[in-house]
Copies of this chain bind each other. A is one copy, B any other.
Amino acid sequence: MIGAMIAPDTPRPRAPISRRADYRAFRLITTRWMDNDVLGHVNNALYYSFFDTTVTGWLIERDLIGLHDGTMWMVAETSCRYLSEVAFPDVLTIGLRLGKLGNSSVRWELAVFRGEADEASAEGHFVHVHMNRQTRRPTPVPDSIREILATMQI
């Protein structure tokens, strides 16, 4: 199944499929009946809601979401590679790790795990930019936050 889903005409060698041990934090997501589309599997757009929920949930739980202090995180870029299907009523676990910590941006890397599976059903990335909420311009990530983010590196 998994091989079948990889775009077969892509010339560049594919990275090996990641496993749970490749991630640092995890979030449980229950699927919903409405997530399944006509093909009977979770629609491709919703994987980004799972990524978004995992990153934002992690930030909220550590009080790093900003908003009240005049900063905010804005999404600059996302991607997802779909490896095998998931469908309601699957319970999913989303893995999260820090990919790269820039001056004012963070590259998060994520994966979707179905039920008890150890191999990812999907992998993606999510670039967050730390912004001044008023000016909507990038602002450096302060050292106090960098320290916490750094713990998410694998």
**A-to-B contact residues, CB < 8 Å:** 1, 4-10, 28-30, 32-34, 36-40, 43-53, 56-57, 60-61, 67, 72, 74-82, 88-89, 100, 102-105, 107, 127, 129, 131, 135-138
CB contacts (< 8 Å) of A57 on chain B: these are 33, 88-89
- Closest B residue by C-beta to A128: B7
CB contacts (< 8 Å) of A33 on chain B: these are 37-38, 43, 49, 52-53, 56-57
Main SS of chain A's interface residues? mixed
Contact partner, A129, options B8, B37, B129, B136, Cβ 8 Å: B8
CB contacts (< 8 Å) of A10 on chain B: these are 102, 105, 127
